[in-house]
Structure 1
Amino acid sequence: GLAWAGRAVAERAPAAGQRAERPARELYQALNSLRVDGKRVFSVRDISLRRDAVRISLAEGKLAFLAPLDGQVYGAAFTGRGRILAVPRDAVEKLSISRFLDTPLVDEPFSKAYFRFTDDTAAELERQLGQAGQAGQDGRAARAPEPDSDFAESWNPTVSNLNPVHSLRTLCDRLATSPLPYFYTMILGDHTGPFDLVVDDRRVEQVMLGRTQTSGGTRHYDLWASFARAEGPGKAPENVAAVSYRVETSIAANLSLEGHTELTLKALRDGERVISLELSRSLTLESLTGSDGQPLPYFQNEDLSRKQVVERGNDTFLVVLPTGTRVGQELRLVATYRGSVISDAGNGVYYVGARGDWYPHVAGPGNFARLDLSFKWPRKLTLVATGKKTEEKEDGEWRTGRWQSEVSVALAGFNLGEYASEQVEAGGVRIAVHANRQLERAILERLVPKDADTVRIAGMGWGHSGAANTAGAAPVPAMAPPNPAGALKLLARNVAESVHKMERWNGPFPYHQLEISPIPGSFAQGWPGLLYLSTMAFLPPEAERRAGVAQRDQDSFQELMPYHEVAHQWWGNVVTWSSYRDEWIEESLANYCALLYLEERKPGEHVLSPWLENYRNDLLGKIPEHERIYDDAGPLALGQRLDSSLIPDGFAHVIYPKGTWVMHMLRMMLRAPGSKDPDAGFAGLLRSLIEQHRESSLSTAEFQRAIERVMTPEMALEGGHSMEWFFDQWVRGTGIPRYAVQFTVKPQGDSFVVRGTLQQSAVAESFVARVPLYATGASGKPVFLGAVVTGGESTPFHFTARVKPKRIVIDPNETLLWREK
């Protein structure tokens, strides 16, 4: 017999719906207490596990299961010789792996592996152990499991440390009537050190490989690859969707916050008892009840995995429902919480640190819901918030107010301070700009140094990939600090004008009001009807110069940041991204719409051209301590994964410059020069996207299909009616082509025959582009010769010109992102 193999995995326990389940907290503790079963350690040889595009081979060594819980085995540990091979099907993921491992696949020998699972891994291992028990490859019978306490003790400290996060994930499946399989292994690679493999049907992209790395004293989670299983569940199986939130918030004189939120949710899956919500880690849940008023178990700030912290911050909490959900069922929860999410930047300047998680809500950008917000706060402060203010009154030393969303929104924000304010009207939209009466301490110290008469300060970067610097900046004398409120009227007028001008591209402004408030630092953020702008945007250029801000960053703060955030009212709030792979669309469109507004506001200054040139130079700039350029950091489709230990701010270095260029190239391809409205095609595309995806998400695939519906024949560079070539090269790929031209000119009657070749390099052989060529004659004015569709390293061309070309100019109107050879 093989009775020993059958005992490796205890008899299966009844399904969740059949057994009397332990209370959630007790189950969690029991799962945390699981340890390696040292009484049953197997000598293994040539065992393998296949999970989609990943194969794990255990060549030789020892393996033991974790002790069973209620007859179910949830993990195992291995020490010996093994190998993992992962070969993603997707080209983007191969490129991603190459960024970290210099090869497009993971092929790594290892000495240790820790497994956790809720799928059939235990039975699969048991079956292979049983087969090995009959006869090994060398003809010798494999030994039955034996006690080995040393093996167990070598593993149990690690198991104890790693268990909690897996306990929460196991709990989700344990309590569900239709569990979704989960498989995890931590591999100790011979060359890479420890890394993770996750295959989880509760993830949008079920397969994930990555590891934690430290760079510059900061821990990063480097996501090597993430992709859907070939036979995965398809669309992410979200448990619930948001319907509405009623949020009551009380802010004390010391700025601490107490909150009470009523959440109305709709169930999207049958049989789920655990749902995931978000709330700032700085706020402590004090109670959570269901619609019947009975308390519900919850898990907050407990043992999130490294990948969860990277993906969504350590702000997730889990709620355990008393019974399984039914599709379409309405769920009502009431949460109370308290903590400190409002910070004091000095001199009476305050800001909300938990900008998106100051109230409990369903995670994810596409969860639109109605909001009803009520606040109580100190009377001396002004408070602004998302939604239409329906009431505000004083009550002794306090103010109270209520804001209600006019439409469904994905998230809400608020801000407060001792503000000076200015209001203007713009086509039925009320624009209210608020500024602090004093500067926060950090900026004040830049302007008024304590121990010196002059100051040199590095600039702050925002919205572009060029590192802030003080190159060429001279010491500046200390002077009296400016009043940030002094810029209110001009900023209010400019924002009102931008709202009106952007309606041409995006359709009517989506809200009846827009509140603009300051936030310390060098960043900005947009909520529905509410903007946070860096204090720098409220300062005059002279003050920014005195603070040591480089000219490029001054331009960002003054010229781009406010209008980028205005554009986010459409792109990011009305339409949001479907997943992290699609966030580039909203960021790029917001940036490009801001530049189009600046171009229209200053028609004679050609504002767009220098910005495009700056962005080109940003992408071609060398990565510090690397030989590669920033464009090599990764494609737009990687989104936030561009931030890594290799390039900590890779997202900003790629998304803004390259995304802006992508939108510009699309606009140029859709443009109809000489028509009454040359940009009607691009404007129509944007407005149709807003209408079709209003209060919902937009994916890259949907964006591509929308372009294909309006594309011109000249855009079909590979035949058919497809823009696949463009998205493969510019969104899912990297590379900026180099071009050079060689030509000869021969007279032919009254004209000239121009023959030559367009040389293309620095990109793949298959890279295609439509490159416009112009000839310059004696007058020096460029005259269009024609466009060359590249095909490989050298593409011949043949044109006839009326004027003898002295020189051929490549793309003088900047329709294409390229560089000189």
Structure 2
Amino acid sequence: MFLHSLLALAAAFPADTTSTRYLDYYRGIMSLASLPQSAADVKQLVLKRDAGVITLNQGTIYLLSPVGGRTVAAVFRGAGRLTLTPPEAPERDALHRLLGGNAVDDSITEAILIFDDSTATQLRGLSFHGGDVPDDLLGHVHDFVQSLRGENDGAFMPSVMASLLSESPNGFLMVHVRRANGSPLLFQYDPDVVHAVQLFKPASKMHWGANWSVVTEFAPAQPLAGSAGMWEFRQRVAVPSYKLEVWLKTTGIADLSFAASAIASFRAHEASGPWMHFALHRKLVVDSGRWSDGTAVPTFKAKNDDDLWVRAPHRLAAGDSAFVTLYYHGDLIDRYANWFFIDPGAAWYPKNQQGGDAALFDVTFHSPAWYPIASIGERGDSSLDGKVMTTRWVTKRPTPFATFNLGLFTTYHAQYEGAPPLDVMMSEEAHRALRNAMMDAGYMMLAQSHMQEAVAADISNSLKWFTHAFGPPLYDHFYITEIPYYEGVSFPGMIDLSWVTFQNTSLDGFDEFFRAHEVSHQWWGNGVRPATYRDTWLAEGVASFCGLWYLQSIRKGNKEYFKFLDAYVQNIKDNRDGGGATWLGYRDASPERPYGYQAMIYEKGAWIMHMLRILMLDLNTGKDDRFSAMMHDFHDSFSGRSATTDDFRGIVEKHVGVPMDWFFNEWVKGTAIPTYHVAWTSEATPDGKQRARFRITQENVPPDFQAYVLVSADLGQNRFANFRIKVTGAQTEYASPVLPIAPQAVTFNELHSVLADVKMERW
């Protein structure tokens, strides 16, 4: 028996050999099969990865066929247990919302393991014997593997492929469990990402575009090296610069073809590879590649898939640097009538998936001369060769955001006093054709004349306003381009605005708000970048608030400012249960709550900033000086780099002078919205003056929830006494400061100081 065990282990764990072909690994994982003499009885085998624990109490485990010369998979049937408790309250709330409890503690009957960590060592300690994997259990393995597969041959969950392609164990573990009660779950420990501990549940691919959706994820208790300040991937390999050359040519049907070369430099922060992972738009096809010494680059990209794999000549050691040139093309740009559809967020160059994606860009475009073009950075050399315009764009500082836009534009150049120069690029011809088409169909479309001038004036005005509020932006020339989408996107020195805002400027203030929102991203998003997806609200929520702040200023009143905030309230309420805390970022969106991201990041983020503003308001002067100084300081402190929510909290505490963790725990990491039942009366003080007494019942929030609510007491003859009440507990009575006379009326939650429902009651 001992000899048989040794022979089984030799077959199951052969000497390491590495295939150079990506598809070998893919086909190996897709065709996992039984092995002879590779079954073992298991008792109390524990796989602990940070907060996740998989215990195989009793049963049989079967090793599965090797992939790339290594045993990386096994399947278990018997009795076991999965336990996991997220360390952070927002993640426990997410777990409760999606699975019904604050922790996972479930009996399991099957487990499918894919591993590139110490699991292999643990399994070597077992005594193996004969016994094939039962057919139904092997069928479950194949079904699970299929759930990780993409649409086309070679497309597969990248976390698994990264572990398979690594020449050295990277610490990866994935375990698919069948629960005794409940749907299957997928536990993953992926050390390539910041939030390495992950739990997934089944999802509808038709709705999600994938078979698994995140339930909870968080960083290990001991954060992994290279995690600090990273958006998603640990900083294992940096790509500090790109030199891109793009050819945009007209086709016989007046479309534009796209072809490009990309020279990417990369530098290893730790041993990595030899396969490097990039993202490249699903419609783009890699033609060839070469290293700086001229040798060919093996690459793989599945059809209509975003994952690009590039194989280095050898595994990189920490400190190694290399340059790779890739040539690629594809149907990136769609045309409809006179509009060119260029997705502003498209990965039109190979984006790093092994660390941060902030880089320096040097981009040269060869494009039809009759289509004006704009990109990020400073426009440098340009030349005209027949009908081809060549332009060069160079960034002075690293950025994770790069784009371009071109079209049937007319360009309006403007430079207003005290503001940077602008080039506003709008397709008058496309608007004219759209109006004519609508008229032919019997519809009228509102349109104003001189919209380029109107947009330029509004953009210039908001640039000046935000410069006064936060300090100078990082860029000194701005390109404002029209895109045929119902959205805006802001890049370094370049702002894409929806075609709708070039139709007219609405009377309700939305267009002024919308344009200012995108302009403010030059400070919040491009100037100060959110460090992780959890901090996205520091870009989108702050920008939404800034749009409202600007609108309040130019309209010289509060009407539109509070109208938008009031509209946000219902959206936040409708989406908080199906979404989650603002701190969850993109995970607030779901097929059931598609507006969740907009509501919890943009709109609740704006409310968070508004509440801070009112909390810091000087009640004697009514001025925002403290809040304004805080925002200016935040920009000065983090301009040109990334910031976390905790970084922002530190700036807030510096200017408020007291700990503010309670505020961020409640509003950024929490979802509760208080309801206040308020009764009040006036009473005389011993010295013959007056004060207001309040009885406040607080509902729908945790027991330790607190808020500083602004109250305004109307003393008559246009006199008001303003003060704050710190509301805590379920029901409490409060007394106002001493007042000269009895109030005629009281406004509880003046200026919407707290996102709350207020119900006034009789004393």
TM over 0.5: yes
Counterpart Cα distance in 1 of 2:30 and 2:209: 28
Change in Cα spacing, 1:645 to 1:196, as seen in structure 2 (3 Å) is: farther
Superposition deviation, residue 497 in structure 1: 0.7
Aligned-residue RMSD, C-alpha? 3.1
Could you tell me which residue of structure 1 aligns to residue 388 of structure 2? 398
1: distance between equivalents of 2:435 and 2:199?
45
What residue identity is the alignment partner of 1:124? Q
- TM-superposed CA distance for 1:154, in Å, is 3.1
1:668 aligns with 2:668: no
Match of 1:513 among 455, 458, 477: 477
Aligned runs of 1:713-732 on 2, under 5 Å? 716=658, 722-732=659-669
Q: Cα–Cα, structure 1 residues 810 and 184, in superposed 2: closer, same or farther, change >3 Å?
A: same
CA deviation after TM superposition for structure 1 residue 818, in Å: 1.6
Paired residues for 1:45-194 under 5 Å: 47-59=45-57, 61-68=59-66, 72-127=70-125, 129-130=126-127, 144-147=129-132, 150=135, 154-155=139-140, 157-158=142-143, 161=146, 162=148, 169=159, 172-173=162-163, 179-189=169-179, 191-194=181-184
1:816 pairs with one of 743, 754, 762: 754
- Give, in whole Å, the separation in 1 of the partners of 2:73 and 2:181: 25
The aligned residue for residue 136 of structure 1 is none
Deviations 1:664-684 (A, max 9, x none): 122223333556x93333333
Structure 2 counterpart of 1:775, from 684, 692, 713: 713
Q: Distance in 2 between matches of 1:402 and 1:100?
A: 49
What code does the residue aligned with 1:817 have? L
Q: Residue 24 of structure 1: CA displacement?
A: 4.1
Q: String of CA shifts for 1:648-700, please: whole Å, max 9, x gaps.
A: 2310121112100111122223333556x933333333333333323321111
Distance between the aligned counterparts of 2:194 and 2:332, measured in 1? 30
Q: Which of 303, 306, 311 is the equivalent residue of 1:315?
A: 306
2:230 maps to: none
Q: Which moved more, 1:287-296 or 1:434-443?
A: 434-443
Give secondary structure in 1 for the equivalent of 2:664: helix
Partner of 1:332: 323
Q: Unaligned regions of 5+ residues in structure 1, if any?
A: 134-143, 304-313, 454-477, 543-550, 624-629, 717-721
1:414 CA drift (Å): 0.8
Show the 5 A alignment for 1:158-557: 158=143, 161=146, 162=148, 169=159, 172-173=162-163, 179-189=169-179, 191-214=181-204, 217=207, 219=209, 221-236=212-227, 237-254=234-251, 255-301=256-302, 314-346=305-337, 348-353=338-343, 355-363=345-353, 367-426=357-416, 427=418, 429-439=420-430, 447-448=438-439, 450=441, 453=442, 478-479=443-444, 481=445, 486-540=450-504, 555-556=509-510
State the alpha-carbon separation in 1 of the partners of residues 144 and 548 from structure 2.
53
1:184, distance to aligned residue in structure 2 (A): 0.3
* Contact residue 356 and residue 412 of structure 1 kept, 8 A: no
Q: Which residue of 2 aligns with 1:310?
A: none
In structure 2, distance between residues paired with 1:639 and 1:147: 45
Structure 2 SS opposite 1:607: helix
Which has the higher mean CA deviation after the structures are superposed, 27-36 or 175-184? 27-36
Structure 2 residue aligned with 1:707: 652
Aligned residue type for 2:72: Y
Q: Secondary structure at the match of 2:250?
A: coil
Pair 1:756 & 2:694 matched:
yes
SS in 2 for 1:801: coil
2:604 counterpart (658, 674, 689):
658
Letter of the 1:297 counterpart: P
- Find the aligned partners of 2:440 and 2:581 in 1 and give their Cα distance: 43
TM-score, normalised to structure 2, is: 0.89
Aligned position for 2:635: 690
What is the SS of the residue equivalent to 1:634?
coil
Summarize the Cα distance change of 1:638–1:803 in structure 2 as closer, same or farther, 3 Å threshold: same
Per-residue CA deviations over 1:495-547 (Å, capped at 9, x if unaligned) read 111101110222112212111111112111111111111111011258xxxxx
- Classify 1:2/1:88 alpha carbon distance in 2 versus 1 (closer, same or farther; 3 Å): farther
Give the 3 Å change call, closer, same or farther, for CA 429–504 of structure 1 in structure 2: same
Instruction: Evaluate the alpha carbon distance shift between residue 285 and residue 201 of structure 1 in structure 2; reply closer, same or farther with a 3 A threshold.
Output: same
Aligned pairs (5 A) from 1:569-608: 569-604=522-557, 606-608=559-561
- Give the CA deviation at 1:253: 0.4
Single out whichever of 330-339 and 386-395 deviates more from structure 2: 386-395
1:383 Cα offset (Å): 1.2
- Secondary structure at the residue paired with 1:115? strand
Q: Distance between the aligned counterparts of 2:208 and 2:218, measured in 1?
A: 26
1:762-793 alpha-carbon deviations (Å, 9 max, x no partner): 11110011123232345575422x32222211
CA, structure 1 residues 634+156, in 2 after alignment: closer, same or farther (shift >3 Å)?
Answer: closer
Separation (CA, whole Å) in 2 of partners of 1:601 and 1:70: 64
Question: What is aligned with 1:796?
Answer: 733
1 CA distance for matches of 2:412 and 2:158?
50
Alignment deviations for residues 344-402 of structure 1 (CA, whole Å, 9 cap, x no partner): 132x1112126341122324995332211111112321111112222333322322222
Structure 2: which amino acid aligns with 1:51? R
Between the aligned partners of 1:485 and 1:270, the Cα distance in structure 2 is 59
Which one of 680, 684, 689 corresponds to residue 747 of structure 1? Answer: 684
Say which SS state the counterpart of residue 495 (structure 2) adopts: strand
Between 647-656 and 230-239, the greater mean CA deviation after superposition: 230-239
Q: Deviations over 1:450-489 (max 9, x none)?
A: 3xx4xxxxxxxxxxxxxxxxxxxxxxxx23x566874111
Contact 1:504 1:683 in 2 (8 A): no
Displacement of 1:570 in angstroms is: 1.6
Cα distance in 2, alignment partners of residues 488 and 652 from structure 1: 28
Give the Å deviation of 1:59.
Answer: 4.8
1:155, distance to aligned residue in structure 2 (A): 4.8
Deviation of 1:644 after TM superposition, in Å, equals: 1.8
Who is 1:568 aligned against? Answer: 521
Which amino acid in 2 is paired with 1:369?
A
Does residue 680 (structure 1) correspond to residue 625 (structure 2)? The answer is: yes
The alpha carbon displacement at 1:103 in A equals 1.7
1:733 corresponds to which of 670, 676, 695: 670
What CA distance in whole angstroms lies between the structure 1 residues aligned with 2:17 and 2:79?
41
User: Residue 473 of structure 2: SS of its match in structure 1?
Assistant: coil
| Aligned position for 2:589 | 643
Report the Cα distance in structure 1 between the residues aligned to 2:476 and 2:159, rounded to whole angstroms.
Answer: 43
Query: For 1:441 and 1:61, how far apart are their aligned partners in 2?
Result: 72
| Preserved CA contact (<8 Å) 1:297 1:319 | yes
Aligned residue pairs total 739
Letter in 1 for 2:359: A
Give the match's secondary structure for 2:276.
strand
Distance in 2 between the 1:491 and 1:70 partners?
Answer: 58
The 2-side partners of 1:93 and 1:363 are apart by: 24
For 2:301 and 2:489, the matched residues in 1 are separated by 27
Q: Give the deviation of 1:96 after TM superposition.
A: 0.5
Deviation, structure 1 residue 603: 1.2
